[in-house]
Amino acid sequence: MCGIFGFASTDGRGPDLARLRWIAAETEARGRHAFGLAWVDASGAMHAFKRPGAATAALGDLDACRHAVAIIGHCRWATHGDPQDNRNNHPHPAGRGWLVHNGVVRNYAALLRRYRLRPRTDCDSEVLGLLMMRRAGTLAQRAAWAAGQTEGPLALLGLWRNPVRLVVVRRGNPLWFAHTPGGLYFASLPAGLPSQVFPVADDSVSVLRLDDGSLRHPDLPILA
Ligand code: GLU
């Protein structure tokens, strides 16, 4: 039962850090084993960070995202893979992107065999990134295909650059979002989000694209 959260800028500026800390602290209720982030700066540079331990053990870690135009974050409740081995923690790589995942890939072992995948970690979530790299097509098509191969409820956020894109996938597990003047915030739990919280549509895959560092058309297919 991990928690995930995210941010996409609508004005090219970074997130409200106080808001982000609050969201991370609330999301921690779903997992205290590890904490991780991936983000893209206004300059287009991609960064990732993860560590064992609860989000609130060092909320200052979020300050690195001060100038981020898109962020994905993870509070881990480990089901597969020791969180003390940091490779098992999220975000997990997906080619040139990063993924954070909430759920258990129940057919993880079967998928590794079927597609002859070579995992580098003991975490079931890694398989989603490995599957995405197996497929041609748009990001949305690859994300939908990879999620479709897996069994079990999930919520997933992914981050790519050039252009900056935030991938939002939900099947069964909770995922909410809220608008602010500066951007969209996402979280597994509505508690830390600003008022007017909406559920991401269940059984949906969306790719939000930021042009010049901001989301120009947040008229989202993610509304339930
Ligand atoms: N199965 C993933 C892990 O062990 C996600 C855990 C969860 O969402 O509960 O990290």
How confident is the model at residue 222, as a pLDDT? Answer: 55
Q: How far apart are CA 63 and CA 66, in angstroms?
A: 5
Write down the pLDDT at residue 224. Answer: 43
Q: Compute the distance from residue 80 Cα to the ligand 1 centre, in Å.
A: 7
Q: What is the whole-number distance in angstroms between the Cα of residue 110 and the centre of ligand 1?
A: 17
CA geometry: angle 148, 108, 37, nearest 5 deg: 80
What stretches in the chain show pLDDT beneath 70?
216-224
**pLDDT value for 68:** 97
Q: What is the pLDDT of residue 213?
A: 82
Question: Model-level pTM?
Answer: 0.95
Ligand 1 within 6 A of CB of 48: no
Q: Which pLDDT score, from 0 to 100, does residue 195 have?
A: 81
Q: Tell me if 156 CB under 6 Å of ligand 1.
A: no
With a 6 Å cutoff on the Cβ, whether 121 touches ligand 1 is: no
pLDDT of residue 220: 54
How large is the angle between the packed helices 126-133 and 139-149, nearest 10 degrees?
A: 130
62 CB within 6 A, ligand 1: no
Tell me the CA–centroid distance for residue 81 and ligand 1, in Å: 9
The number of helix segments (H) and strand segments (E) in the chain equals 4, 13
